[in-house]
């Protein structure tokens, strides 16, 4: 692991397995209390000097890091594919997406300023400064092992914070790759650290108890996120939580059906459905429901399932047996309650799940309530705008929602009524570095990306200066 500019070991080790083959592809040191404390010490020591560097200096380093990442696209992509099973073409896409956040914040980081306000007193000057919150602890998930790191670290480093990353147990190698490239471009010791561990609870407790670590930024499940929110209360850390989702995808009768089918396939089946913003509920207007279902079944049956390292593969394995069993249990529960399988549904070897489309899905089914995180597309019919908006909002989640229509008024009103942080209007992939990414309700707190993403790592300081007089000496 990478602590204080050194590649260090630990007492215990843990294996990283390829979900495609089950083979051990690496063994990594498993940090405990000692390594976590070393990292916390280094992050807080480095913060004192890093925060004093200029934004121009930090952003130049970020630019060099960006260039290094782009140069290593293929190596990082293969690492992602091998450790978590994403098809190689998508893994390359993730590297470019991940790099785009470094690119964006290498520019935006130069534009952090303050404000001044007029005072009601002639002898007072009022102004604000924005300063880095301090050392940051970042916990990331396995489904986007590159992008979930850069979305957090690029803004943190740009404004002068130092960061400790705890990558997921299933996919820690990509994080080490990013750390190596930061080291290669001259990132100072302690500014970016990666602690690998098979015991996230113990390592994280050290960070939660340490008042010098000023912020937790977490991407992962709602269940774990809520627990960490409580645990961080003791040292009252600043908090960003990017949690689970259950995205509705609404297709009105006036939609371009072929485009909607293509976008459902891209949105639902990307990363084998293991994406926080992928749709988990596809609402289709009753008048086009059977036509849409037929077209979707044809498109889904064409998706190539197989070895994620092959260029032709569109659907790789799920990350582990729990992920596979959850997806299969959602299919079984829906079928038991009357849903029909119109594509897929055949059991496969290993952690693979055949892309599946379910028709006649109803609100009581498990798949309508829990995040499936697998390649299963449930179709539900609706009759009116008001009905579908109410159904879409009847969820504890509020991350992403999508709607398909050619009617501008309908698009605007429905987008305004949906209780979600991100809305795609005829767009199944709205996320981009310059826009805010994040959700409401059980989907989390805060935003990543755009100028909003910088605010998460800044504290505002107000300075009121009282002058000795109000006028110039004559």
**Which residues are near ligand NAD by CB under 6 A?**
139-144, 148, 166, 168-169, 200-201, 204, 219-221, 224, 228, 242-245, 276, 371, 399, 439, 444
242 given a catalytic annotation? yes
CB of 351 to ligand NAD, least distance (A): 14
The answer to whether residue 276 is catalytic is yes
* CA distances from residue 390 to 286, 393, 414 in whole angstroms, order as listed: 16, 5, 10
Q: Which residue is nearest to ligand NAD (CB)?
A: 220
| Minimum distance of ligand NAD from residue 347's CB (angstroms) | 23
Out of 35, 90, 108, 242, the active site residue is 242
Cα–Cα distance, 361 to 380 (Å, whole number):
5
Question: Cβ closer to ligand NAD: 275 or 313?
Answer: 275
CB of 167 to ligand NAD, least distance (A): 6
Of the pair 98, 297, the CB lying nearest ligand NAD is at 98
Tell me whether residue 345 or residue 398 sits nearer to ligand NAD (CB atom).
Answer: 398
Q: Which is nearer to ligand NAD, 164 or 343 (CB)?
A: 164
Rounded CA gap, 104 and 450, in Å? 8
CB closer to ligand NAD out of 260 and 418: 418
Find, among 196, 180, 363, 382, the residue nearest to 280 by Cα. Answer: 363
Q: Considering the complex, what minimum distance in angstroms separates the CB of residue 269 from ligand NAD?
A: 16
Q: CA distances (Å), 45 to each of 4, 41, 57, in order? A: 10, 6, 19
Distance from C-alpha of 401 to C-alpha of 143, rounded to nearest angstrom: 20
In angstroms, the CA 152 to CA 224 distance is: 18
59 versus 95: smaller Cβ distance to ligand NAD: 95
* Residues in contact with 98: Cβ distance below 8 Å, sequence separation at least 6, in sequence order: 69, 144, 146, 147, 149, 150, 151
Q: Whose Cβ is closer to ligand NAD: residue 60's or residue 445's? A: 445
> For helices 200-209 and 33-50, what crossing angle results, to 10°?
40
Asked whether the beta carbons of 241 and 230 are under 8 A apart, the reply is no
- Give the CA diameter of the chain: 91
Q: Which residues on neighbouring strands pair with residue 266, listed in sequence order?
A: none
Catalytic residue among 276, 278, 385, 448: 276
Report d(CA 246, CA 368) in Å as an integer.
Answer: 8
How near is the Cβ of 49 to ligand NAD at its closest, in Å? 28
The closest of 411, 46, 419 to 213, measured between CA atoms, is 46
d(CA 438, CA 455): 14
Residue 200 CB, nearest distance to ligand NAD (Å)? Answer: 3
Residue among 174, 110, 165 at smallest CA distance from 140: 165
Least separation in angstroms between CB 428 and ligand NAD = 16
| Residue whose C-alpha is closest to residue 368's, from 237, 466, 279 | 279
Looking at the Cβ atoms of 50 and 218, the one nearer to ligand NAD is 218
Shortest Cβ distance from residue 323 to ligand NAD (Å)? 8
Beta bridge partners of 282: 249, 379
> From the DSSP assignment, how many helices (H) and strands (E) are in the chain?
14, 22
Instruction: Please identify, using beta-carbon distances, which residue of 219 and 405 lies nearer to ligand NAD.
Output: 219
Pairing state of beta strands 376-382 and 356-359?
parallel
* First-last CA distance in the chain: 65
Least distance in angstroms from the C-beta of 223 to ligand NAD: 7
E strand residue ranges, 326-382: 340-343, 356-359, 376-382
Q: How many CB atoms lie within 10 A of CB 5?
A: 17
The catalytic residues are 242, 276
């Amino acid at each position: 692991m990478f602590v204080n500019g050194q590649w260090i070991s630990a007492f215990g080790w843990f294996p990283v397995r390829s979900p495609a083959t089950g083979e051990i592809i690496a063994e990594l040191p498993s940090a405990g209390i000692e390594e976590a404390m070393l990292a916390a010490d280094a992050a807080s020591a480095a913060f004192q000097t890093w925060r004093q560097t200029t934004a121009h200096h930090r952003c130049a380093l970020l630019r060099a890091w960006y260039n290094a990442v782009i140069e290593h696209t293929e190596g990082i992509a293969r690492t992602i594919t091998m450790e978590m099973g994403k098809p190689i073409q998508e893994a390359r896409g993730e590297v470019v997406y991940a790099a785009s956040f470094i690119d964006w914040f290498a520019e935006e980081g130069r534009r952090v300023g303050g404000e001044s306000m007029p005072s009601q007193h002639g002898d007072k000057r009022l102004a604000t400064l924005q300063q880095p919150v301090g050392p940051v602890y970042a916990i990331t998930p396995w489904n986007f092992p590159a992008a979930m790191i850069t979305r957090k670290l690029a803004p943190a480093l740009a404004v002068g914070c130092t960061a400790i990353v705890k990558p997921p147990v299933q996919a820690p190698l990509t994080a080490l790759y990013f750390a190596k490239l930061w080291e290669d471009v001259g990132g100072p010791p302690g500014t970016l650290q990666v602690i690998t561990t098979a015991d996230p609870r113990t390592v994280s407790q050290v960070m939660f108890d340490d008042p010098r670590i000023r912020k937790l930024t977490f991407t992962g499940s709602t269940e774990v996120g809520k627990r960490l929110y409580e645990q961080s209360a003791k040292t009252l850390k600043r908090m960003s939580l990017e949690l689970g989702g259950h995205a509705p995808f609404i297709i009105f009768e006036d939609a371009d059906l072929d485009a909607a089918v293509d976008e459902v396939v891209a949105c639902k089946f990307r990363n084998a459905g293991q994406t926080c913003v992928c749709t988990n509920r596809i609402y289709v207007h009753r008048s086009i429901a059977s036509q849409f279902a037929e077209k979707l079944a044809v498109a889904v049956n064409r998706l190539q399932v197989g070895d994620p390292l092959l260029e032709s593969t569109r659907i790789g394995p799920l990350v582990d047996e729990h992920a596979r069993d959850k997806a299969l249990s959602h299919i079984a529960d829906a079928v038991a309650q009357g849903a029909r399988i119109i594509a897929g549904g055949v059991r496969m070897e290993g952690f693979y799940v055949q892309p599946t489309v379910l028709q006649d899905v109803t609100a009581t089914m498990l798949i309508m309530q829990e995040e499936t995180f697998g390649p299963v597309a449930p179709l539900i019919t609706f009759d009116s705008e008001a009905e579908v908006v109410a159904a879409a909002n009847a969820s504890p989640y509020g991350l992403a929602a999508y709607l398909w229509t050619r009617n501008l008024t309908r698009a605007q009103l429905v987008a305004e009524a949906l209780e979600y942080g991100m809305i795609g209007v005829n767009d199944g992939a709205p996320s981009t570095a310059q826009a805010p990414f994040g959700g409401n309700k059980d989907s989390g707190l805060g935003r990543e990306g755009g100028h909003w993403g910088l605010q998460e790592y800044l504290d505002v300081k107000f300075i009121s200066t009282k002058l000795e007089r109000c006028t110039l000496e004559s």
